[in-house]
Amino acid sequence: MKNTEDFIGITVNGPDAPGIVSSITSILAENAVKIIDIEQIVIRKLILLSMVLDLRESKGGQISLLKDLLLEAKRLDVDLDFKIASGDEHLQYDKDFMYAVTCLGKRITANVVAQISNAIYSENVNIERITQLSQGELNCIEMIVKTDKSINVRDMTRKLLSISADFGVDIAVQKENIFRRSKRLVVMDMDSTLIQVEVIDELAKSAGIGKEVSGITSKAMNGELSFDESLNKRVGLLTGLDENFLDKIYHNIPFTPGAKKLVKILKKLGYKTAVISGGFTFFTDRLKNELGLDYAFANELEIENGKLTGKVLGEIINGESKAKILEDIARKEDIALDQVVAIGDGANDLLMLDKAGLGIAFNAHKAVREQADYNISQENLDSIIYLLGISEKEKNTI
């Protein structure tokens, strides 16, 4: 039976300086003390070092060790506190019950942190660690929380939705496991996700039927009209449009802020990337080449004698097709679905988002926001990386 006095927790805090960790751990080494848990953070030149120690095989007694540590702390001009720790409590570590709560916003205030903390506390969940993922202004934090029982991630996320609405921040809850930080495939919608426009609406403007087509697009994106029906109606209205307009539109496409940077980061990190769109291959194929994506899938417009015929060739890529293509790519690359990230904004993206381990509705339509597990309303697409546990400092080194 373990003696609880064989385990102590120590906390060192004060002005940071070289040699603090070395000095403290040297005393532990001299006394044959085993470190069973350790964590250190430095915030604006202030150090916080915490350790849990196992004294069962130490050479000296507890009093002698603590005396040496307190004297060394005084020499180093830092404070050292200690408490008796439960061996069972600190030796057990169940990853299944660890969760990451990520909060993004233009500015995260103390009130936001307090509201999130209160919501977490009300579920009998303990905050283990808080990390700032952004640099400079506080606009992204990650909380690692722990509970003695599994929680429903979707329910917890929805409970935090009111905070998101009240303070203009985005909050996501994910299981903290190996899959969160080992994503390997990112698939993205094109229109209003990778780029800022709906290509078919731009084509309609060129044909002088912009309002008519954009109205159909809006209904489709909100799920009021089946995607197949809406696509056929809109493409039909484009009959006779000169194909030269397609090239002109492509060269004037505005990318979503952060889109190119996101793809660059993902490629550097070894992710496979794909665009799966209900739009058209004329555009997705060019985006694939320009950005260096691994895959591109979309609908093919029929063109005869340099004019659009108003028809789509082959099977329409709709919501069901998108989800299936995601699965096909993952299978081909031997990637588990838990390691897939899907990003989209429309109703025809929902099945794809649901299929992925991390499905993100990015600046999505209301109907999509209400059904998706994760919602991001940030300006920049590269803010997605925070949900992968990548900090801004890490991002800027890539």
User: Given phi > 0 = left and psi -120 to 50 = alpha, else beta, which region is 22?
Assistant: alpha
The secondary structure element, H or E, covering residue 34 is strand 34-43
Q: What DSSP designation does 160 have?
A: T
191 is catalytic: yes
Within 13 Å, how many C-alpha atoms sit on residue 15's CB side?
5
Name the catalytic one among 16, 37, 81, 189: 189
Residues 6+ apart with CB under 8 A from 144: 98, 99, 100, 101, 127, 128, 129, 130, 131, 176
CB 28 within 8 A of CB 78: no
Across the beta sheet with 46-54, the strand order is 34-43, 46-54, 7-15, 79-84
338 is catalytic: no
SS3 220: helix
Q: Cα 173 from chain centroid?
A: 10
**Bridge partners of 145?**
99, 127
**Bridge partners of 52?**
9, 37
Q: What DSSP designation does 194 have?
A: I
SS3 259: helix
Name the catalytic one among 191, 201, 373, 382: 191
User: Given phi > 0 = left and psi -120 to 50 = alpha, else beta, which region is 314?
Assistant: left
CB 376 within 8 A of CB 362: yes
Positions marked active-site: 189, 191
